[in-house]
Amino acid sequence: MTEMALPERVAVSGGAGFIGSHTVELLVGQRCRVMVIDDLSHACPWQPPPGVELVVADCGSEEAARALANFRPEAVLHLAARGGVQRARRDPAAHVRAAVASTVGFFQSAVAAGARRIVTASSGGATYGRPPRLPASERMRPAPLSAYGASKVAEEVYLACTGREYGISTMALRYGNVYGERQDGTGEAGLVAITCNRLVTGTAPVINGDGQQTRDFIHVSDVAAANLAALASRRSGVVNVGTGQETSVGQVVAALVRLAGFPGKPSHASALPGEVRRVCLDTARARRWLGWTPRMSLDRGLRCTFAYFQSALADSSRFRELDRCE
């Protein structure tokens, strides 16, 4: 990780969610003072550590703006998200209103509150579309295939504009396919979490398409570490956060089936529109700019994630047993 010091006061939008909760824990471990702004629409089963202020609000709202003004963060990390590729495709205009407008409002509120560093979460798969070669480099021109990807590019452009206008440093982190503990396995995005959730309940996993489509799967612990490195840096621009490894959806599902000891075979559904066919990310810039490299292997990450879902199922079963006894 970079040797530069972390800001002492950091506001994290979406800090009660999957990636946010892991990042907040690391920030608290580094003795940063943290405020979380989250509308709890995608909150995970997690309680903020002692001393972390939680503001329940949309990050682009007036309430969030007031909270930022009172907190006076040195830096902000924008992790709040509104659905994925398919949700944005169903109603692109609503997605822009809910996601892009809210994001731009958050950037403006952060600047007004005195923040001198803004880091935002973007997408390494959705922004590149069909890259001419792999691994995809930040030097490649964005060419999104979906409304979701277009919205992420728009947020990157707004962020860079904000930095130039107000003379602050900004960075957009283009994540690979993030997976790991606390991810929601009941939604329509997040292959690893959805597959784990189905397997621990004895249900066959589903592969959309032929399973040969590839992704750059990166564990949430590595993403959280990259978030901290980006907050500590003063470089501006876009940075890929991935592993540089191209892994097929079918390979990942097969590995989880083996871990579960599931006797059946995955079922197949139609390929989803707007999804990229192949992607993996060049991480050379992350090494140079942030001093960051991923540490979690895919094999270990899948084992840890599956164990988490097994434990979560056991805990929920115990709660049901207690309810019946009462």
Residues annotated as catalytic (active site), given as ranges:
148
Give, for 13, the enclosing helix (H) or strand (E).
strand 9-13
Q: Is 312 exposed, middle or buried (0-12, 13-18, 19+ CB in 10 A)?
A: middle
Dig out the tokens for 100 from the structure: 């892009």
Tokens for 146? 């979906």
Q: What angle do CA 201, 212, 90 make, to 5 degrees?
A: 70
What is the Cα–Cα distance from 69 to 102, expressed in whole angstroms?
Answer: 17
Do the Cβ atoms of 167 and 280 come closer than 8 Å?
A: no
Q: Return d(Cα 271, Cα 211) in angstroms, integer.
A: 9
Interacting residues of 323 by C-beta distance below 8 A, sequence separation 6+:
none
Q: Give the whole-angstrom CA distance, residue 39 versus residue 273.
A: 29
Q: What is the DSSP string of 245-276?
A: --EEHHHHHHHHHHHHT--S--EEEPPPTT--
- Strand locations in 98-257, DSSP E? 117-123, 169-175, 177-179, 206-208, 214-215, 217-219, 237-241, 247-248
Name which of 305, 115, 70 is nearest 192 in CA terms.
305
- 222's CB contacts (< 8 A; 6+ apart) are 241, 243, 294, 295, 296
In 3D space, the residue among 229, 287, 240, 289 whose CA is nearest the CA of residue 140 turns out to be 240
